[in-house]
Chains A and B, each alone.
Chain A
Amino acid sequence: MSWKIWSLKKSPWVFHVNVGACNNCDIEIVNCLTPKFDIERFGMKLVGSPRHADALLVTGVGTRQAVVRLREVYRQTSKPCVVFIIGACACGTGIFHNGYHVAGPVDKVIKEVDPNAIIAYVPGCPPKPEAIISGVVKALSAI
């Protein structure tokens, strides 16, 4: 295990990217920070810039306007990074699959930029905070 991966697994800082979500997944992510779940205990922290982040939390279908910005955000994130794709929309565009403004799913867009990207999926509409925490733990113990 390289020291980069070793340091990534300790207290991952996350940047939250909404690419056309309905707010539910975003609220559940913020819910993870609040007293009932409080993942800040484990050193996970929402940061304000992708350049500070170890992981991206991507929610939403990936609209045509948004995927351009998503690619740019992924390029700016310091590597190695883990991409967490949260929610049914982000995992496979879900109920919006036949929308004219949908360019997702998100994993396809990320793989266009970097075919070797580390991607973890947390399905659910919206996934409960417990599911998000469990997904993050599983992904970090797998790499």
Chain B
Amino acid sequence: MKESIKKPVLAVGPFHPLQEEMEFFQLTVDGEIVTDIDVRISYNHRGIEKISETLQFDQVPYLVSRICGICSASHPLAYVQAVEEIAGITPPERALYVRTIINELERIHSHMLWVGLAGHFIGYDTVFMWAWKYREPVLDLLEEITGNRNNYGNVKIGGCREDVPNEIIGKMLKELDALEKKTDMLTKAVLDDPVLHARLKGVGILSYEDAVKYAVTGPTARGSGVAIDVRRDDPYAAYADLDWNVITQPEGDVFAKAVVRLLEVFESIKIIRQAAKKLPDGPIAVEVKEIPAGEAVGHTEAPRGETFHYVRSDGGNRPVRHKVRAPSFVNVPSFKASCIGEEIPDVTITLAAVDPCYSCTERLAVIDENNKIVHDYETLLKLSREKTAKMKKEML
């Protein structure tokens, strides 16, 4: 404790002009060099898992789409896949393709958003304005298909709420052609810019070993050479029928993560084109009667990594337990590996490089008056073991 008092601590947050959300970083610094980092979260904690237990199965997708505004297609899809596994429902073929299209449109707009914000963080506002201008047509498409620019709420148990009408497909492909050209220009401008090379290469390196050790997911892992992608490893929706590549970069620095995201935009465009071509005719939803007792997990590849939902049902009309693990929850601790040893100005872009989403990640710790955590790791472990033992006894 005394040791940490001696060292100067730089506080970033909770309201920081750079980051949109509330989060609090304590950077222990030695001169300009960061020697330790502590992340305090839970400013954004809304208790979604508990609220979800008070809602009916078909209402929960609209709640979980509001976990995070940017992943508002992946979270409900993961939940719906878990419930469909419990109930043994197979959604119609067309619904799977519609889900794929919506999810890839979301990935495009999320990656463009990140590229813009990353440009803003390093003071390169031209990239910010370009990227955000180019993502607007994607939002317009999403609005035309689902009725809302964000928070689409388009998946429901047994299928989809809104179809991708055949009239829109031609327009969508035309928009994607235009987007591909613009993204190509942006990618070349970003990747060939000597200023960005000097600013981003070798900054915030997360090595392959550290990426495996911290179990990071999504573009953060793929930027460190770890080729994991739920869409390929455990295909859901229509990904198994489509042809695309998992983009990886071996370097692990911020530049590699930017390259991964920019190239993934092209892969997403490729996926949507194929899905639009193969889109089968037929209904987009099946009728769902009852959700039997049981438990299941559903996972999807959100723009930031693997989104994981666990749902348990007791045969009633509400989930009795709903657990969410968003990708940022595993990506944020990797700051310990990537930020330590960096200079303070480089830390901001390193923090932003994993595209952290704190509203997904928020957890809660209860502390007493003496700042001591009431339920620390040991007590939680003990409680969990006691409960498991109790459940095992009941089963026998």
Contact = CB atoms under 8 A, between A and B. Distances in A.
A61 B51 CA distance: 14
Interface on chain B toward A: helix, strand, loop, or mixed SS? loop
B14 A20 contact: no
B150 A73 contact: no
B150 A101 contact: no
Interface string B37-54: 000001111111011001
Contacts of A65: 22, 42-43, 45
A105 B364 CA distance: 20
Given A18-B20, A22-B66, A99-B51, A69 B15 contact: yes
Contact of A23 (B14, B50, B357): B357
B17 A49 contact: yes
B133 A36 contact: yes
Given A20-B43, A24-B151, A101-B364, A35 B50 contact: no
A101 B46 CA distance: 6
Interface in B45-101: 45-48, 50-51, 54, 62-63, 66-70, 72
Nearest to A129: B149
Contacts of B14: 66, 69
Interface in B1-58: 14-15, 17, 20-22, 42-48, 50-51, 54
14 contacts: A18-B15, A18-B44, A22-B151, A24-B151, A26-B69, A31-B132, A34-B116, A34-B129, A36-B136, A63-B45, A69-B15, A95-B66, A102-B47, A125-B151
Interface of A: 16-28, 30-31, 34-36, 46-50, 60-61, 63, 65-66, 69, 73, 95-96, 98-102, 125-126, 128
Interface of B: 14-15, 17, 20-22, 42-48, 50-51, 54, 62-63, 66-70, 72, 113, 116, 128-129, 132-133, 136, 148-151, 357, 359, 364
